[in-house]
Amino acid sequence: MRDSTRRTIRTVVQDALSLAAAAPLIITASGIPQTAVGVGASLAVAAGLTRVMALPAVDRLLPSWLRMAPPTLALPDPVPPAPPAPPIGTAG
């Protein structure tokens, strides 16, 4: 499974849990000021879940297909750098 797919699944799970936690506030809200409290609570829960799921201890508890991918090493540049140009004013 690609890392982008893992990240998408993790984000969907986090958002679903945060919306479920804030659902009572959102459902009972009838006006915009009251709805803002529900939206704020869901964003706070989503931010908290995102931070907690980024911890290595929590990552180890997740199923292997949902864990973060190990960091990869940077690949070398496929195009070698150009040789330095000779100084201006020198005869070659």
Asked, for residue 85, whether it belongs to a domain, the answer is no
Summarize pLDDT for 1-45 with one digit per residue, the tens.
677 777 778 888 887 887 777 767 766 665 555 566 677 777 777
Summarize pLDDT for 34-82 with one digit per residue, the tens.
566 677 777 777 778 878 877 888 888 888 877 777 766 666 667 777 7
Residue 18 has a pLDDT of: 79
Residue 91 has a pLDDT of: 58
Asked, for residue 76, whether it belongs to a domain, the answer is no
Tell me how many domains the chain contains.
1
Is the pLDDT at 89 greater than 60? The verdict is: yes
> In which region does residue 89 sit, left (phi positive, over 0), alpha (psi from -120 to 50) or beta (all else)?
left
Residues 80, 91: Cα–Cα separation, whole Å: 26
Asked, for residue 53, whether it belongs to a domain, the answer is yes
Sign of CA dihedral 23, 25, 28, 31: negative
Residues 35, 23: Cα–Cα separation, whole Å: 10
Domain with 49 in it: 3-66
Residue 69 has a pLDDT of: 72
Asked, for residue 7, whether it belongs to a domain, the answer is yes
Residue 54 has a pLDDT of: 79
* This model's pTM is above 0.75: no
Residues 29, 37: Cα–Cα separation, whole Å: 9
Q: What is the DSSP letter of 54?
A: T
